[in-house]
A and B are shown apart, each in its own frame.
Chain A
Amino acid sequence: ELKVEQNPLFLSMQEGKNYTIYCNYSTTSDRLYWYRQDPGKSLESLFVLLSNGAVKQEGRLMASLDTKARLSTLHITAAVHDLSATYFCAVDLPTSGSRLTFGEGTQLTVNP
């Protein structure tokens, strides 16, 4: 059974600081997705990582995938308040049919 673990689950940081959210998964996969969810809202797709070594960047967020370590990171650079949200990673396997397995989510709060 594929397990996806994120850490930390809660992150409070100051504006201007850098930090990294980690997503570990238990079974080999080369496809991983990052989503953002604002309070009371739905999930919005952020990044799609489809191979080992993939790196995607948008604004202050950068995601990477290391399939050998079964690890993806979401790096936040010079955080701003608007980045406050819950971030989910999700992994899929060719053997899982159409399903994605989601991590528990990391609730990020950026304080002024």
Chain B
Amino acid sequence: DVKVTQSSRYLVKRTGEKVFLECVQDMDHENMFWYRQDPGLGLRLIYFSYDVKMKEKGDIPEGYSVSREKKERFSLILESASTNQTSMYLCASSLWTSGGGEQFFGPGTRLTVL
């Protein structure tokens, strides 16, 4: 089974802090994704990566950056956390195919920014 893990289930940070969310997958997937999920807004794609050191902006990249130094690891960085970044963050991975392919999700990190 594909396993996607995220470094923290719950995280509380202060406004202005730099925050790192880590995601690791163990199935050699090329593609990795970061979403945020807020009530009434569904799933929104922040960034994704289809290869090591490659990244693509999603629909809401502002205020975020990402890093993919190894195939299995994809990090989401909040350079200066703000209260409007309080959310559930979901990481996912998928095999590269000619289209999107089934995505497998991690357990999520619920981030609260005070």
Residues on A lying within 8 angstroms of B by beta carbon are 29, 31, 33, 35, 40-45, 48, 88, 90, 92-94, 96-100, 102-105
- Contact across chains for B105 and A94 when beta carbons are under 8 A apart: no
Interface size on B, residues (CB 8 A): 26
Total A-B Cβ pairs within 8 A: 59
Closest Cβ–Cβ distance, residue B70 to chain A (whole Å): 18
- Contact across chains for B107 and A45 when beta carbons are under 8 A apart: no
- Contact across chains for A43 and B90 when beta carbons are under 8 A apart: yes
A104 touching B103 in the complex, CB below 8 Å, given contacts A94-B98, A98-B31: no
- Tell me which of B33, B56, B99 contacts A92 (CB under 8 A): B99
Residue of B nearest to A6 (CB): B42
Residues on B lying within 8 angstroms of A by beta carbon are 30-31, 33, 42-43, 45, 48, 50, 56, 58, 90, 92, 94, 96, 98-108, 110
- Contact across chains for A93 and B99 when beta carbons are under 8 A apart: yes
Main secondary structure of the interface of A (DSSP, over half): loop
- Contact across chains for B42 and A102 when beta carbons are under 8 A apart: yes
Residue of A nearest to B59 (CB): A99
- Contact across chains for B102 and A48 when beta carbons are under 8 A apart: yes
Residues of A within 8 A of B43 (CB): 43, 88, 102
- Contact across chains for A96 and B100 when beta carbons are under 8 A apart: yes
Closest Cβ–Cβ distance, residue B86 to chain A (whole Å): 15
Measured CA separation A104–B107 after assembly (Å): 20
Measured CA separation A10–B99 after assembly (Å): 30
- Contact across chains for A43 and B50 when beta carbons are under 8 A apart: no
- Contact across chains for B104 and A45 when beta carbons are under 8 A apart: yes
